[in-house]
Amino acid sequence: MPTLVMKFGGTSVANLDRIARAAKRVAVEVANGYDVIVIVSAMSGKTNELVGWVNETSPLYDAREYDAIVSSGENVTAGLMALRLQEMDIPARSWQGWQVPVKTTSAHSNARIEEIPTEKINAKFGEGMKVAVVAGFQGISPEGRITTLGRGGSDTTAVAFAAAFGAERCDIYTDVDGVYTTDPRITSKARKLDKIAFEEMLELASLGAKVLQTRSVELAMRYKVRLRVLSSFEEPSDSAGTLVCDEEEIMESNVVAGVAYSRDEAKMTLISVADRPGIAAAIFGPLSEAGVNVDMIVQNISEEGRTDMTFSCPTDQVKRAEKAMQDAKASGAINFHDLVADEGVAKVSVVGIGMRSHTGVAAKMFRVLSAEGVNIKVITTSEIKISVLIDRKYMELAVQALHDAFELEKAG
């Protein structure tokens, strides 16, 4: 039998009625002749509630116990989904991460999947089980402790199972009906994409699009897992959702596939740092050790033998970055005149594999922003993306203007 992986997010299993609705979708695929692996998230809001209980009980919590607690939401959903399917006369069984077992690293609350043995579930399929309902977001460490994969980890679980079992496809059911050219809440002209290349989706996910977890897209691209993003609240059809696939499957597309944004960005500048070999390592080494996620980096010559170093990071990591830099200065590793943090910025990016073979995208982007009176603070580029840091108050204006300028409301 061919295998299909279906993943249901928190809003899709938020209550018993929605679990029943999701179970009906699973039943359709069973009737289509698939052995189905269903990956479930916790009911909407449950993980936040569990995290709140942990913080209230022990602000400086043991990470191993944190994982044991917050992973329990998925276990409840898996059991309820299996019961619902059984009530529909579909042979189903729930599986917790340790029962498969989903083997992970020991990095509690941010573990990575290392292996998913297929023998146990395949044996049950051979005995007549039609649906394996697996608790997402969790696994087991080499030490035998429950681990979790970080927020959005159920997406990664689903893709990893699709890769391990050689699934025909991995369907991700969520509260949106696909991947859009930009956030429909910002511009009504945003268009749902029928297909998007892995690389484009990876860039959009990493640049702020919230549809799929970045790690899940990385995994899908590495193992060539065809992903389909669908709404669990719309009637199924052949044209439903967005297929995330290999570039070769997309016949023709726009030069720019989408406009992404990240609202919670901060720009930090170390003023008057020594301009010498190794200074970048001396700055970004301590930031990495402090867990600061540095994104855009620009170096400017300020005076003879000195330089200014500017970088961006999430706003919730500013204090951590400031402490890391002050500690490095106190230790003598670096010396700087001042550290200036601007927490009122946002990142706006255009993404598209068509940019590889088309020139002038950057020039057009900068011209459009200039015409709208938007000042660019930092620029970074890659083969298929251009990102700029701008004042946050202009973020929505910039997204709308770029979406219009590249005519993303029109299909390629």
Return binding residues: 7-10, 47, 74, 174-175, 180, 185, 210-211
Query: Quick one: tokens of 35?
Result: 């052995």
Residues marked as binding for ATP? 7-10, 174-175, 180, 185, 210-211
Query: 187 Cβ partners below 8 Å, 6+ apart?
Result: 399, 400, 403, 404
Bridge partners for 341 per DSSP: 268
* Helix, strand, coil content of the chain in percent (nearest 5): 40, 25, 35
Residues marked as binding for substrate? 47, 74
Q: Is residue 328 a contact partner of residue 270, using CB atoms and an 8 Å limit? A: no
- Could you write out the DSSP letters of every residue in 373-404? TPPP-EEEEETTEEEEEEEGGGHHHHHHHHHH
C-alpha–C-alpha distance, residues 161 and 246, integer Å:
19
Could you tell me where the DSSP H helices lie in 240-345?
279-289, 318-330
Query: Quick one: tokens of 376?
Result: 């660019």
Residue 22: enclosing H or E segment and its boundaries?
helix 16-31
Q: Is residue 149 a contact partner of residue 110, using CB atoms and an 8 Å limit? A: yes
What is the DSSP secondary structure assignment for residue 143, as one 8-state letter? Answer: T
Q: Is residue 369 a contact partner of residue 390, using CB atoms and an 8 Å limit? A: yes
